[in-house]
């Protein structure tokens, strides 16, 4: 069976669910309560793990990150400061080995191309 035919019934269910959430305030409130209970369940699992050492930390973390990403995501903060300077010219300098010896040995700078 083709993947699209397998996904089609689930797509209709999801569309129906979202439509009910938009149009039925009581249903939307029930969904919010269920989501909160789900997060609480996972948070209790992580507390149990901390107290007893029983459980799978990776699975619990995964569950929390998926159900409550705003509270449980990995947070990264990057701050940039200072002036931004534009590069006006990039120059490639090729130094012949004998010219390098001349510069190191106190010779003329004109030997560098």
Read off the pLDDT of residues 2-33 as tens digits, 9 standing for 90 and up.
577 777 777 888 899 999 999 999 999 999 99
Read off the pLDDT of residues 56-99 as tens digits, 9 standing for 90 and up.
999 999 999 999 988 888 877 788 788 877 777 777 777 677 76
Read off the pLDDT of residues 30-53 as tens digits, 9 standing for 90 and up.
999 999 999 999 999 999 999 999
Look-up of token digits 């050492």: 53
Q: What are the boundaries of each domain within the chain?
A: 3-74+89-111
- DSSP-derived letter for residue 106 is T
pLDDT value, residue 112? 46
Question: pTM for this structure?
Answer: 0.56
E strands of 5-113, at which residues?
Answer: none
Question: Of 110, 60, 61, 24, which is closest to residue 32 (Cα–Cα)?
Answer: 24
């Amino acid at each position: 069976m083709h993947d699209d035919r397998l996904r089609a019934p689930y797509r209709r269910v999801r569309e129906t669910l979202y439509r009910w959430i938009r149009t039925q305030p009581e249903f939307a409130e029930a969904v919010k309560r269920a989501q909160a209970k789900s997060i609480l369940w996972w948070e209790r699992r992580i507390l149990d793990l901390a107290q007893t050492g029983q459980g799978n930390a990776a699975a619990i973390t995964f569950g929390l990150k998926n159900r409550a990403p705003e509270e449980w995501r990995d947070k990264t903060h990057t701050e940039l400061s200072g002036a931004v300077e534009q590069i006006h010219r990039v120059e490639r300098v090729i130094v012949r080995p004998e010219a390098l010896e001349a510069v190191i040995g106190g010779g003329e700078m004109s030997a560098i191309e």
